Amino acid sequence: MKITRVDVVRVPLALTEPYTIAYETVDSAENVFVRLVTDGPHVGLGCAGPDEGVTGETVDTCEAGIRAAAQRLVGEDPLRIARCLEAIQPLCVGAPAARAACDMALHDLLGKAAGLPVYRLLGGYRSSIATSITVYIGEPQAMAERARAFVSQGFTAIKLKGGRAVDEDLEALRLMRRAVGPGIGLRFDANQGWDLKQTRRFIAGAEALDLELLEQPLPRGHGPGLATITADSTVPIMADESLIGLSDAFRLARGSVVNMINIKLMKVGGLDSALAVNAVARAAGYDVMVGCMDESAIAIAAGLHFALARPNVLLADLDGHLDLLNDPAAGAVILRDGVLYPSEEPGFGVKDLETVFA
């Protein structure tokens, strides 16, 4: 089998409503879709959801990275994934979401050629995983009510966005715990919003609220500060923006900087890189959460298949597709009562995206 053509298309994706995190308000998203066309019966599909604040890419630079990689992939055997990824690596430096899209399409093709869903090819440790759902920054009482509504829909884990004034964040967390009761997992993501003093104040105030984890309280690059917080904290500390690639995973593990890490395919460059980062995490004794950006369901499916394949990927935060109004790959994952299930069709379960590549 040979790749004969690579199609690349940008797709604006409308959100149900704008949302706010510590450093920005988002009112729309744009993904870049890629299709690997072969001389055989199958096509491989992938998607990039770049975020300049996290991956360092704009949609323009991400698209340019995918197009450069696409030219290099034409004529290659897509089943030789390691060879293909090594070939495009120099073209995707500083563009991990671009690499992730190509990596997804290659894995999708492998699954279709094998007649198996990707998670089974990668290890098939489990067949479903619960996901958290995000409550974004707003008025504390409204945030608590939104969390209550999500619980009524069957979700058992809520991720609360913060990183603003500590007192407001704690008030939102208290109201949320009161609204959802003791049996619901609460996770807090500060998105690099605090300094050391603020982080300590938050942890002290949250001690009685049974918080599952605190994600990225300090800015990326504050490794010594994160290590200090982790050593003293009664709440598990998770790295997100501090982990972009494999070298970051080594650094975090070597210094015992955090307790947990958040692996996002867009940050690390796809499934191949995610498996390498996860191996470092497992060697260090770190639990892993798989996360996402604002991504089409086919990219969410790739993250899900990764989560299902490895035993130490214990948590999922794969809700980035739920607020997209015009997702062309809707249905690539199945959500029931807060639990995500993969399609059992070959690859990631999407045969083609004719409406995108028409």
Query: For residue 351, is it within any domain?
Result: no
Domain that holds residue 15: 3-114
* Residues with a known catalytic role: 161, 189, 215, 240, 264
Q: Are residues 103 and 128 in the same domain?
A: no
- pLDDT at residue 24, as a whole number: 80
Burial class of residue 89 (count of CB atoms within 10 Å of its CB; 0-12, 13-18, 19+): middle
* CATH value at residue 33: 3.30.390.10
Q: Is position 355 within any domain?
A: no
The verdict on 203 and 298 lying in the same domain is yes
Decide which of 114, 143, 158 is a domain's last residue: 114
Is 230 part of any domain? yes
Between helix 96-114 and helix 59-73 the angle, nearest 10°, is 50
My answer on whether 126 and 100 are in the same domain is no
| Confidence (pLDDT) at 223 | 87
152 with 176, same domain: the answer is yes
Residue 349 lies inside a defined structural domain of this protein = no
Segment 47-75, tens digit of pLDDT = 999 999 899 999 999 999 999 999 999 99
One domain for residues 147 and 221: yes
- Among 114, 129, 161, where does a domain finish? 114
pLDDT value of position 358: 85
Last residue of a domain, one of 62, 85, 114: 114
Q: Are residues 195 and 231 both part of a single domain?
A: yes
- CATH value at residue 190: 3.20.20.120
Confidence at residue 22, expressed as pLDDT on a 0 to 100 scale: 78
Do 87 and 208 fall within a single domain? no
| Close Cβ partners of 224 (under 8 Å, ≥ 6 residues apart) | none
Q: Give the total number of structural domains in the chain.
A: 2
Q: Does residue 354 sit within a domain? A: no
Instruction: Give residue 28's pLDDT.
Output: 85
Q: Is residue 347 part of a domain?
A: no
61 falls within a domain: yes
Per-residue pLDDT of the chain (358 residues; tens, 9 = 90+): 999 999 999 999 999 988 988 778 888 899 999 999 999 999 999 999 999 989 999 999 999 999 999 999 999 999 999 999 999 999 999 999 999 999 999 999 999 999 999 999 999 999 999 999 999 999 999 999 999 999 999 999 999 999 989 999 999 999 999 999 999 999 999 999 999 999 999 999 999 999 999 999 999 998 899 999 999 999 999 999 999 999 999 999 999 999 999 999 999 999 999 999 999 999 999 999 999 999 999 999 999 999 999 999 999 999 999 999 999 999 999 999 999 999 999 999 999 998 999 8
Establish if 308 belongs to a structural domain: yes
Considering the domain architecture, whether residues 7 and 138 belong to the same structural domain is answered as no
Residues 139, 225, single domain; the answer is: yes
Is residue 144 located within the same domain as residue 177? yes
130 and 242 inside one domain: yes
What was the pLDDT predicted at 23? 76
Does 263 lie in the same domain as 157? yes
Closest residue by Cα to residue 319 from 150, 165, 66, 76: 150
User: What's residue 204's pLDDT?
Assistant: 97
